[in-house]
Amino acid sequence: MSGFQVVEGHLSVYEVLTHLGDPYPSRTWKKLLKLPAEMLPRHARKQFIMKDGRKSRMLPAIPIEDFDRLVLLLEQVNTETEVVTLRLDAESELLEVLSEAFQDFEPSQNVEVGDLRLDLYFARANVAVVLVSRRVSGQQRLLLDQRIMQAQAELECRFLKLEPDAEGFRLGQAVFELRQLLEHKEIKPTS
């Protein structure tokens, strides 16, 4: 369970689902709550500490020992078109590198804006980063682009879409592009 924040022996359901690669953890949790109570892991509402040191709102949480039960339940439940897969280490590492490299811009991970989960949001610069998996189909990409445009209008911020598992992805280029956005400079498209 290393890497998870633990409060009174509980893990945040949203953090667990996000770690498992779920782009919409709150929506998935709501679906799971519709199942018979005996199928669900024990759960309560707990307050966690966010990366910026502030207390979160009360979030659903499960006891540490019910982690495996939640994972098994996710494998058994049909979540319609959404597929819950383990987040690639490259994606997690990329988020950590970007968060640490630009910590002075107050990064927050997994910020939900409507139906869109921002992988990183830099509050001081009003810049968002969304990671796109190579496994996302063409129709899902169009839906994602639509959600990004809605969130962009709602937040009035700039977005950077990254595909860390795509062939030719370069971490240095991603860091450069993000720095350009954070410093309010224009990014010239690379060919």
Residue 135's pLDDT is what? Answer: 64
Share of the chain above pLDDT 70, in %: 84
Please spell the DSSP secondary structure of 31-97, one letter per residue. Answer: HHHTS-GGGSPP-EEEEEE-TTSPEEEEEEEEEGGGHHHHHHHHHHS--TT----PPPHHHHHHHHH
Per-residue pLDDT tens digits for 54-102 = 888 889 999 988 888 888 887 766 444 444 444 446 788 888 889 989 9
Q: How confident is the model at residue 186 (pLDDT cuts 50, 70, 90)?
A: low
Phi-psi region of 47 (alpha: psi -120 to 50; beta: other; left: phi over 0): beta
Residue 2's pLDDT is what? Answer: 55
Q: Which residue has the tokens 């169009």?
A: 142
Name the pTM for this structure.
Answer: 0.51
What is the number of helices (H) and of strands (E) in the chain? Answer: 6, 8
CA atoms within 13 A on the CB side of 12: 18
Per-residue pLDDT tens digits for 114-144 = 777 888 999 888 899 988 876 666 677 777 7
| SS3 call for 105 | helix
What mean pLDDT value characterizes the chain? 81
Q: Which residue has the tokens 């058994």?
A: 76
